[in-house]
Each structure stands twice: as C-alpha cells, then as structure tokens.
C-alpha cells in the first residue's frame, strides 16, 4: 500500500529501431527486445528467418536464428506460424540482405500466443473485399496498417493546424432533435425498442402508442423524437459567435441508402467555423489547411510516414506523392459556379449527366474540372445557385446565388464544402419559410441573429475522403476501421 506505481516508459518498438534516418545502423550492437506478430517464417538448413511486425511501422524486423537460440525448439516444432505472437531478444546487427539495413540476431524467442491454422491472412494476397469481412484482423496487413498510421497522422495534423491557429475544438452533439441540412435521411435514436439482446425478438405491439395509435414519444428517453446528427455546423455556429474561431472533429451520420465506394452511413467530419469572416476568409482557411496537410504529407516522406507513403506510391496509387506535392505547392484555382458551368459546357468530354446552369455538379464534372481542365490542381468553385444549397447559406446580391464554395481535388471530387452563413435575420427567416422549414425548431439558431449577429463562415470536410486522397485507397470503406453501410454493422 502506498507504493509508487512506477514510471511509464514507452517500450521499444520496431519504429524506434528502424525508423531513424539511417534505418537502424546507429542501433547496431544493442541488445533489444521485440514483441509482435509473425508475418513469415523461412527455415533454411542452418538458419531460420522470422519476419516480425508490431504495427509501429510498415517494416518488419527480420530476425535471424540458429539452433543455439534459447526457445529454438518451439520453432522446430512448428508452433511459430504466420499470425502467432512472439517475444524475441537479440542483438541488432547489419543485415546481409538488401531489403533492410539491420536485422536481429536472436538469443531468445518466446511464443506468446500461437495462431490457429485457420488464420485468414496468410502470405498470399487477399482481396480488399475479403478483408472487409475480417475488419478485426485487417490492420495486421501492410495496406491497412499503413492506412491506420496515415489516418492517425492526418487527424493529429488537423488538430495541430487548428490549435496553432487559435481555433478551439468543440464537441457538437451526436444525438440531436434538429436537422441541420433540412434533408431528412437521419437515423432515429430511441429507447422505445428494448436494447441489445431483446431487440431481435421484440414485437411491434410493445412499442408505446398514444390513443391515436401514434408512437408515444413522451415515453422515449428524450421525450421526443431524436436523431443522429448529420452535421455539427449549427451547433458550431453558437460557439463561433462566442469564442470567434472553433472547429469540430467528430462522427456524423447519413441514413442514405447508397451502396457506393464514396458513401458511409457513419463518417468523421471536420467543421471549422470562423466569426467575423466572409467567404474569402473561408476559402483561405480551407486552402491553408489542405496545403499544410499536403506539405506535412510530403515532409512525412522524409520523416515518420515515409515508408507508408512509399508503399502507397508503389502499390496503391502510382504518383500519389507527386499529386500531393502539386497540392502543396501550387496556387489553387478559383472560379465561380457560373464560369465552371460554361467551362463544362464547352468541354469536349461526354458526361453522363447533362450540364446546365442550375444543376448540381456531379462527381464526373468535379473531377473533370480539377483533373483535366486544371491539370491536377485543386479547384474552388464558388457562388452556387441557391436552389441546390442549404438554407443557411448567405444570399448574394444577385438574388439567385449563395456565398458557397466547394473545393474539388483530383480523384475525389468534392473534398470540402463550405459557405458564408446568412447572418441577416430577415433573409434567414425568409429562406426557412420558402423551404417550409419550421421557424420554431430553429429558435436558438435564429437567436444568434437576434443577439449580436456577425458575418461568419465555415466548411465541412469528410475525413475519410481526406484519407482516400492522401493514401489512394479507392473504396471509402477501406479508409475507416469499421465501415457502416446499408446492411453492414458487423464488429
């Protein structure tokens, strides 16, 4: 009792040995311990090679063992197979092989946990479709390990960018009674259906009803219908109009029944909101954010994520490093929606969806603009027709467009969507009425215009799209650990 708990020390990981600029040569001569999972084992007549990975980096540690190593009998007996977890002590030595600078000469090996022969991730290449059914094991592969590390780097860089620029992170609510986009497609959150084990066998009749046969919401947890948020923006506005600059970074949801490689039912969004700011400030912020990002990606190549990015460049999307460099270095193109439409109409390309003023831009149009019309440079399209944009966007003086902007990037299309918000009470109320949205449900949002309203602007960025953009993975389901899509809620 009363004893010191002991100091927390990071245990040595493979990245600590091999991650340095000379790939571990400065560690030669050290006796170290490596703990991880066996990727492959090759037994030759006098020597056995084990590739061990601990997920701290893409690289395995090649462990070289002769029969005099302690614990060699476990190797000999065939217990140490792909997927098994082991603990190895050995000396860092220069490698004879060409694939790495250093390897580990094993003194002692301990089998920590064996791997059942049914282990589904053997050396042979497995499809990403198959791996989605093994989402609990896929981070043990090169691709998904690298995606996880780059995703992490992008998240941290996001926080760093906003924190260093004076933004305050706020958590917008996940469960909400309001509908930010006014578009429906929300998941209902309820306790009227009993939880977990009983739900599957639950009769419809057990749901409380009023004497008119309607769902009796007064008996629900929140005593009224509640939903999963589709955006934290409206809530972020309340904090921006108090603290000046804020951002959210949290999960958002769409109950959209679209089974595409671009949509998730649950995804993470980054939503900065700037007070005393207009659309130009908004664009400048989005540009700075993305360029900083890309710069960081490029710098990472000479730093932490080098291996992972080289891996993507080689195996997932050739040229991705160049593409990111372009984003980091070039001035972004900016043009109005009206000019963009003109450009698309004049384009020699055949589009599936017809283009005319007033139409929403489809992915094919967005990609044409950034990939072909402007040769891989990100494009910011602004001032969209008000009919195709949300109620809260600020009306331009022309009466038919709003101060909205979308940032389009190669391969992804729309990565960022933002706008200046309507700060004028009468315009905002007018727009709600036009769209038959109930003013009363937006009372607190309207209050922001009653009490010290200010010009303000912000944008939303789908984090998984950014992960796709930075890694080249084609299907958005591979950009998040546990994707949720129609019919799919496993794990």
Q: Examine residue 21 and tell whether it contacts a copy of itself (CB under 8 A).
A: no
- Please say whether the beta carbons of 151 and 201 come within 8 A: no
DSSP letters spanning 218-285: GGSTTSS-EEE-S-SHHHHHHHHHHHSEEEEEEEEE------STT--SEEEEEEEEEES--HHHHHHH
Q: Examine residue 95 and tell whether it contacts a copy of itself (CB under 8 A).
A: no
Sites for a copy of itself among residues 407-436 (CB under 8 A): 423
* Contact string 158-177 vs a copy of itself (x = CB under 8 A): -x---x-xx-xxxxxxxxxx
Sites for a copy of itself among residues 360-399 (CB under 8 A): 380
Determine how many CB atoms are found less than 10 A away from the CB of residue 116: 9
Q: Examine residue 193 and tell whether it contacts a copy of itself (CB under 8 A).
A: yes
Q: How many angstroms separate the CA atoms of 414 and 461, rounded?
A: 9
Q: Examine residue 326 and tell whether it contacts a copy of itself (CB under 8 A).
A: no
Nearest distance, CB of residue 413 and a copy of itself, angstroms? 19
Q: How many angstroms separate the CA atoms of 122 and 379, rounded?
A: 43
Q: Examine residue 36 and tell whether it contacts a copy of itself (CB under 8 A).
A: yes
| Structure-block tokens of residue 197 | 């084990």
Q: Examine residue 119 and tell whether it contacts a copy of itself (CB under 8 A).
A: yes
Q: Examine residue 453 and tell whether it contacts a copy of itself (CB under 8 A).
A: yes
Instruction: Decide whether 239 or 300 has the Cβ nearer to a copy of itself.
Output: 239
Q: Examine residue 457 and tell whether it contacts a copy of itself (CB under 8 A).
A: no
Binding residue count for a copy of itself, defined by CB under 8 A: 152
- 426 CB contacts (<8 Å, ≥6 apart)? none
Q: Examine residue 200 and tell whether it contacts a copy of itself (CB under 8 A).
A: yes
Q: How far apart are the first and last CA of the chain?
A: 40
Q: How many angstroms separate the CA atoms of 49 and 68, rounded?
A: 14
Q: Of 134, 118, 248, 133, whose CA–CA distance to 180 is shortest?
A: 248
Nearest distance, CB of residue 228 and a copy of itself, angstroms? 7
Sites for a copy of itself among residues 226-245 (CB under 8 A): 226-228, 235, 238-239, 241-244
Determine how many CB atoms are found less than 10 A away from the CB of residue 302: 10
Span of 12-20, 63-71, 306-314, 356-364 interacting with a copy of itself by CB under 8 A: 12-20
Q: How many angstroms separate the CA atoms of 468 and 260, rounded?
A: 14
Q: Examine residue 451 and tell whether it contacts a copy of itself (CB under 8 A).
A: yes
Q: Of 380, 401, 387, 385, whose CA–CA distance to 459 is shortest?
A: 380
The residue whose two tokens read 């198959």 is 130
Q: Which of 40, 56, 362, 363 binds a copy of itself (CB under 8 A)?
A: 56
Q: Examine residue 118 and tell whether it contacts a copy of itself (CB under 8 A).
A: yes
User: Exposed, middle or buried by CB within 10 Å (0-12, 13-18, 19+), for 171?
Assistant: exposed
Sites for a copy of itself among residues 247-306 (CB under 8 A): 250-251, 253, 255, 257, 265-266, 268, 275-277, 280-281, 283-285, 287-289
Q: Examine residue 11 and tell whether it contacts a copy of itself (CB under 8 A).
A: yes
Span of 20-28, 59-67, 203-211, 383-391 interacting with a copy of itself by CB under 8 A: 203-211
Q: Examine residue 89 and tell whether it contacts a copy of itself (CB under 8 A).
A: no
Q: Of 312, 265, 256, 226, whose CA–CA distance to 485 is shortest?
A: 265
Nearest distance, CB of residue 30 and a copy of itself, angstroms? 18
Instruction: Decide whether 13 or 105 has the Cβ nearer to a copy of itself.
Output: 13
Instruction: Decide whether 55 or 417 has the Cβ nearer to a copy of itself.
Output: 55
Q: Which of 411, 454, 474, 475 binds a copy of itself (CB under 8 A)?
A: 454
The residue whose two tokens read 């002991």 is 6
Largest CA distance in the chain: 84
């Amino acid at each position: 009792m009363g004893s010191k708990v002991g100091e927390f020390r990071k245990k040595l990981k493979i990245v600590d040995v091999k991650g340095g600029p000379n790939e571990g040569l400065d560690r030669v001569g050290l006796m170290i311990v490596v703990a991880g999972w066996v990727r492959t084992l090759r037994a030759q007549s006098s020597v056995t090679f084990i590739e061990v990975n601990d997920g701290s980096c893409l690289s395995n540690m090649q462990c070289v063992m002769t029969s005099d190593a302690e614990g060699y009998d476990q190797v000999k007996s065939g217990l140490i197979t792909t997927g098994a977890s082991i603990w190895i002590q050995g000396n860092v030595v220069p490698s004879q092989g060409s694939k790495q600078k250093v390897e580990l000469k094993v003194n002692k090996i301990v089998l920590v946990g064996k791997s059942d022969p049914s282990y589904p991730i053997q050396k042979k290449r497995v499809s990403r479709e198959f791996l989605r059914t093994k989402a609990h094991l896929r981070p043990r592969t090169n691709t998904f390990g690298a995606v996880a590390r780059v995703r992490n780097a992008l998240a941290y860089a996001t926080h760093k960018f906003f924190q260093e620029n004076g933004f305050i992170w706020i958590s917008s609510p996940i469960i909400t009674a309001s509908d930010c986009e006014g578009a429906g497609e929300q998941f209902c959150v309820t306790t009227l259906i009993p939880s977990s084990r009983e739900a599957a066998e639950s009769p419809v009749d057990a749901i409380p009803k009023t004497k008119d046969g309607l769902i009796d919401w007064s008996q629900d947890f929140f005593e009224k219908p509640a939903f999963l948020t589709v955006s934290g923006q409206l809530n972020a506005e309340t904090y921006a109009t108090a603290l000046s600059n804020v951002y959210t970074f949290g999960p958002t949801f769409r109950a959209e029944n679209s089974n595409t490689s671009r949509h998730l039912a649950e995804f993470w969004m980054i939503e900065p909101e700037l007070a005393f700011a207009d659309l130009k400030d908004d664009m400048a912020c989005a540009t700075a954010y993305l360029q900083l990002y890309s710069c960081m990606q490029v710098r990472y190549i000479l730093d932490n994520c080098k291996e992972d990015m080289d891996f993507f460049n080689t195996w997932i999307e050739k040229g991705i490093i160049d593409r990111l460099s372009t984003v980091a270095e070039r001035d972004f193109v900016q043009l109005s929606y009206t000019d963009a439409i003109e450009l698309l109409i004049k384009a020699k390309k055949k589009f599936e969806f017809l283009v005319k003023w007033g139409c929403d831009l489809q992915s094919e149009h967005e990609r044409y603009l950034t990939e072909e019309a402007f040769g891989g440079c990100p494009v910011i399209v602004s001032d969209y027709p008000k009919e195709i944009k949300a109620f809260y966007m600020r009306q331009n003086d022309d009466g038919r467009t709003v101060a909205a902007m979308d940032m389009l990037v190669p391969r992804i299309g729309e990565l960022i969507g933002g706008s200046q918000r309507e700060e004028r009470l009468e315009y905002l109320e007018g727009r709600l009425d036009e769209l038959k949205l109930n003013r009363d449900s937006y009372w607190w949002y309207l209050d922001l215009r009653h009490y010290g309203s200010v010009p303000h602007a912000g944008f939303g960025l789908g984090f998984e799209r950014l992960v796709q953009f930075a890694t080249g993975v084609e299907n958005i389901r591979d950009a998040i650990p546990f994707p949720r899509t129609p019919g799919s809620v496993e794990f």
